[in-house]
Amino acid sequence: MTASAAEAGQTEIGRAAPRKTLAIACGALAREMVALSRGPLGGFDVTCLPAELHNRPERIPEAIRSKIHENRARYDEILVVYGDCGTGGALDIVLAEEGVTRVAGPHCYAFYAGEDAIAAMMAEEPGSFFVTDFLARHFDRLVVRGLGLDRFPELRNEYFRRYKRLVYLAQSEDPDLTARAEAAAARLGLAFERRYTGLGVAAESVATARRTDRPDKTRYRQSPCCNGGAAPRRRARRRNEGARQRQIAPRRGGCRFEVGKSMLSKLIAAGRPLLADGATGTNLIAAGLASGDCAELWNETHPERIRALHQSFIDAGADIILSNSFGANRRRLGPRGLGARAKELSRLAAQNARAVADRAGRPIVVAGSVGPTGEMLAPLGSLTEDEATEIFAEQIEGLREGGADVVWIETMSALEEARAAARAAIAVGAPYTATASFDTAGRTMMGLAPADFARAFDDLAPPPLAVGANCGVGAADLVVSVLAMTEANPEAIVIAKANAGLPQWHEGHIHYSGSPELMERYVALAIDAGARIVGGCCGNTPAHVAAMRRALDRCQRGPRPDLAAIEAALGKLVAPAAAKGAGRRRRSREGA
């Protein structure tokens, strides 16, 4: 093929070659973009950046530039589905330098409602704060916690004093999302309006962006350091194939891990229900961890406070304590300049827990906490499963060196990421458990159902010592998740580690609605539902753990509870599963 033919996208016989198109989108648009890519438009791939970047708009332009460079050799055309998003024009400067087209619009909301409609609403009320399905679904995580309003509620007026109303641009007819959006408006003290947009304008916007280029040009200009044509694409394919074939060799050395002989497996074999500890993050905040501080760095700077928290849980009766290493992976620590210290901080976290456990006078399991990377895995993000496995393996190595008994994979949302962490534990030679957070209509944020998670590791060798649910939106919802898991996999050892209700503000401080007495009732129901390991997540103090210990000591398993019994004891479900037949897809990769 001649160079001119290659540039024109033609085969040697003059027929137009299929063009590979990539859409780089904001994570807030992930579900809708995947749906569009599989609809009549079709014919393009989607990769997304984390929606949390909206809170750090200065990072968006270079993050998108990196995505362009990463994918340029593999695609014939690239378009960016982003608004300016607070970058002050910097994003358009980057796209001009890279020669990439952006879907028109000042911000992502125009993607759904259209520029004219957004302009009309802004003219009608300049103080309009727009919320989409995604933001309604994740308002607490992205707005309340993302902006620090949970810790400093007085900032609400600082951030939102210029807004008068919240306009919910609904892409779906979902009463639950409408209720969430209305609650968000009330939380911000704004008037509420709902306007249905669907995906029609979004589809037109993508189609228009794909038509704007001339047919004899690619969607971007090749930079001097990036050669076009088939050769780079072949090299890219070889790199990808090599990544798929790489496997992490089992580690050697003075490892405490012994699969099948771990402290946790021995305690499980004894037959009695086990009690795990309570919250790490919310208790460290109470101990002085400030907004923006790195909790994992406290393993080095304030080890006495970390050890005091572990000791308080042991004194309350916990059999299992989790190390302060939830976010101690290279990707989460990277933005803080601590990425290279992931293994070291994980080791220190395990050492702090080990030191306290060893002087307890009774068997205490040190569980090495491993949370998500904070990034979306391919195809919604750039992180591959192999890369995620390597990141988790580095963290687990540190936990191993620090003396952890078991790897405690927790708060997972995407099945691919949970399995990557499990494969890393297997590669290091570590026994492991795995729990997910079912916080979105009975599923994880990425659409994974409890019943599916219960059997998600059956093909791995060895399988996890236990699976289960943690965090979520409260005790009642979590017990329902446990029921689904034990029904799907009756032989599984199931973990239940619920939040102490929901976060609320009381006299300027965060307060979880679930009392120790509520968590005491929750333990009995979780055991009746089939859980073998119970404990608490966010909001659970040593007092909550002590209450759970009392319940566990007198508990004898009864009949499986039904929804009425659960709600009578623990309150109404906060995020119940959608009714059957509602048409929700089960593919986890479509969630956002």
For domain 19-111+199-216+230-239, the CATH architecture is 3-Layer(aba) Sandwich (3.40)
Q: What string of DSSP letters covers 359-379?
A: TSSS--EEEEEE---SSPBTT
Contact by Cβ (8 Å): 288, 457: no
The pLDDT score that the predictor gives to residue 385 is: 92
Backbone φ, ψ for residue 46 (5° rounding) = -130, 135
CATH architecture for the domain at 257-578: Alpha-Beta Barrel (3.20)
| Rounded-to-10 torsion of CA 250, 255, 258, 261 | 180
* Domain residue limits, the chain: 19-111+199-216+230-239, 115-196, 257-578
Helices (runs of H) and strands (runs of E) counted in the chain? 25, 17
Q: What is the dihedral of CA 434, 440, 445, 447, to 10 degrees?
A: 90
Residues in the chain, overall count: 592
Tell me how far apart the alpha carbons of residues 80 and 46 are, in angstroms, rounded to a whole number: 10
CA dihedral 276, 281, 287, 288 (to 10 degrees): 170
Please give the pLDDT value at position 592: 33
Phi-psi region of 99 (alpha: psi -120 to 50; beta: other; left: phi over 0): left
Tens-digit pLDDT profile for residues 287-336 = 999 877 999 999 999 999 999 999 999 999 999 999 999 999 999 999 99
Read off the pTM. Answer: 0.59
Strand partners, 274: 533
> SS3 for 358?
helix
Q: pLDDT value at position 201?
A: 59
Task: Identify the pLDDT of residue 463.
Answer: 94
- Looking at residue 314, its pLDDT comes to 97
Q: For the chain, which residues score pLDDT lower than 70?
A: 1-19, 39-42, 55, 86, 88, 104-111, 115, 200-261, 505-509, 579-592
Report the DSSP beta bridge partners of residue 106. none
Distance CA 423, CA 432 (A): 10
Distance (Å, rounded) from C-alpha 538 to C-alpha 281?
A: 7
The pLDDT tens digits for 385-426 are 999 999 999 999 999 999 999 999 999 999 999 999 999 999
In this predicted structure, what is the pLDDT of residue 507? 65
CA-nearest of 348, 436, 424, 342 to 390 is 424
**CB-CB contact of 75 with 159 (8 Å):** no
